[in-house]
Chains A and B, each alone.
Chain A
Amino acid sequence: MELHLILIFMICAALVAVEMPDLISSVIALSSVGLGLCLAFLLLKAPNLAVTQLVVEILLVIVLIRATINRDLPLVKDGRWLFNTISTFLFIICFLAFAYFGLKELPVFGQPLMRVSSDYIANSYKDTGVANLVTAITMNFRSLDALAEMAVLFTAIIGVLAITRKAGRVNEK
């Protein structure tokens, strides 16, 4: 029940964020979507994810406010609204159809399949010596995943620095 209330709140806040003409109000509405997501993670008993989500949301709000304040972005309000509306509805219908077939295959909410995870829960402390189950799984059982994740993050950082570096922008003039 609380989860449904939070989901409805998130949808309303996302609609406000899309429709608001003022950029700062839009950013604040978007951050309330993230807060709702954090509360949903807490309700579903995933505190690790909730902490990470909250922290990333704070960083996102700071970056967005610092990047969008005092700047007018070119917004296209008119023209092509017929094409936009039709394509949006087509994508929504497509998404809902695939979600209908996909959700039928999933296990029921609240009754997960415990094929691999029961083994993790039983043996993780003995195998890894780490009390936090999430850390044990992400850094030991799925450490290759963590390694690839770090590689992706590092490549993204290098890419941003390569695009925004000063020498490249001086040579353009």
Chain B
Amino acid sequence: MKNNTSGMTLIVKTITRLTVGLILIYGIYIILGSNMKTGGAFAGGIIVALSFIHLMLAFGKDAVIKKIDENKGLIFASIAALVFLFLAAMGSRLIPFAEVALAIVVGTGIFVVFLALIALIGERSK
């Protein structure tokens, strides 16, 4: 993550570098702790997606697309959805795993939709 010209200013980039990991860890905490305390797969998945969106708003689209692009995210979400279906067929007592699968579907799905919307807006404004 170099300070190239795309994205926002140097101040935003520096603060993003400090905070984005904390947001990601908080999202994972919400997902994994959802069977013991307040939280849920949906909220945790969106927090994980928001950390990637945060990275993308600060550093520009190219910095994030190297890590995960639309096709990769869609494959990831599809595999997680199949895992959730398999766990649902297996029966109860596997709730934490089902939570993680649902969170992956929600997080990658929301992020992929955000990427598609950004690409659409960028193309319209040209």
**A36 → chain B closest CB, angstroms:** 18
User: A157: which of B85, B109, B121 is its contact (CB, 8 Å)?
Assistant: B109
Q: Is A154 an interface residue (CB 8 A)?
A: yes
Whether B46 contacts A55 by the Cβ 8 Å rule is: yes
- How many positions in chain A have a CB within 8 Å of any CB in the partner chain? 41
Q: List 14 A-B contacts (CB under 8 A).
A: A55-B47, A58-B50, A59-B46, A59-B49, A59-B50, A62-B50, A62-B53, A71-B125, A130-B35, A131-B36, A157-B74, A158-B74, A160-B113, A161-B116
Residue of B with least CB distance to A58: B50
**B34 → chain A closest CB, angstroms:** 5
Whether B125 contacts A63 by the Cβ 8 Å rule is: no
Instruction: Enumerate chain A residues within 8 angstroms of B118, measured Cβ to Cβ.
Output: 66
Whether A51 contacts B38 by the Cβ 8 Å rule is: yes
Knowing A154-B105, A157-B112, A161-B112 touch, does A139 contact B99 (C-beta < 8 A)? yes
Knowing A147-B84, A150-B84, A157-B113 touch, does A51 contact B92 (C-beta < 8 A)? no
User: A161: which of B39, B113, B125 is its contact (CB, 8 Å)?
Assistant: B113
**A45 → chain B closest CB, angstroms:** 11
User: A52: which of B40, B50, B57 is its contact (CB, 8 Å)?
Assistant: B40
User: A164: which of B39, B46, B117 is its contact (CB, 8 Å)?
Assistant: B117
Knowing A66-B118, A128-B93 touch, does A59 contact B110 (C-beta < 8 A)? yes
Instruction: Enumerate chain B residues within 8 angstroms of A158, measured Cβ to Cβ.
Output: 74
**A49 → chain B closest CB, angstroms:** 9
What is the interface of chain B, defined by CB distance below 8 A to chain A?
Answer: 30, 34-40, 42-43, 46-47, 49-50, 53, 57, 70, 74, 77-78, 81, 84-85, 88, 92-93, 95, 98-99, 102, 105-106, 109-110, 112-114, 116-121, 123, 125
Q: Is A37 an interface residue (CB 8 A)?
A: no
Q: Is A135 an interface residue (CB 8 A)?
A: yes
Whether B35 contacts A135 by the Cβ 8 Å rule is: yes
C-alpha spacing A134/B95, complex, angstroms: 12
Knowing A59-B110, A136-B95, A154-B105 touch, does A164 contact B38 (C-beta < 8 A)? no
Instruction: Enumerate chain B residues within 8 angstroms of A48, measured Cβ to Cβ.
Output: 38-40, 43
Instruction: Enumerate chain A residues within 8 angstroms of B88, measured Cβ to Cβ.
Output: 143-144, 147
Instruction: Enumerate chain B residues within 8 angstroms of A139, measured Cβ to Cβ.
Output: 95, 98-99
Knowing A59-B46, A161-B113 touch, does A51 contact B30 (C-beta < 8 A)? yes
User: B37: which of A63, A132, A150, A160 is its contact (CB, 8 Å)?
Assistant: A132
Knowing A131-B35, A135-B35 touch, does A150 contact B95 (C-beta < 8 A)? no
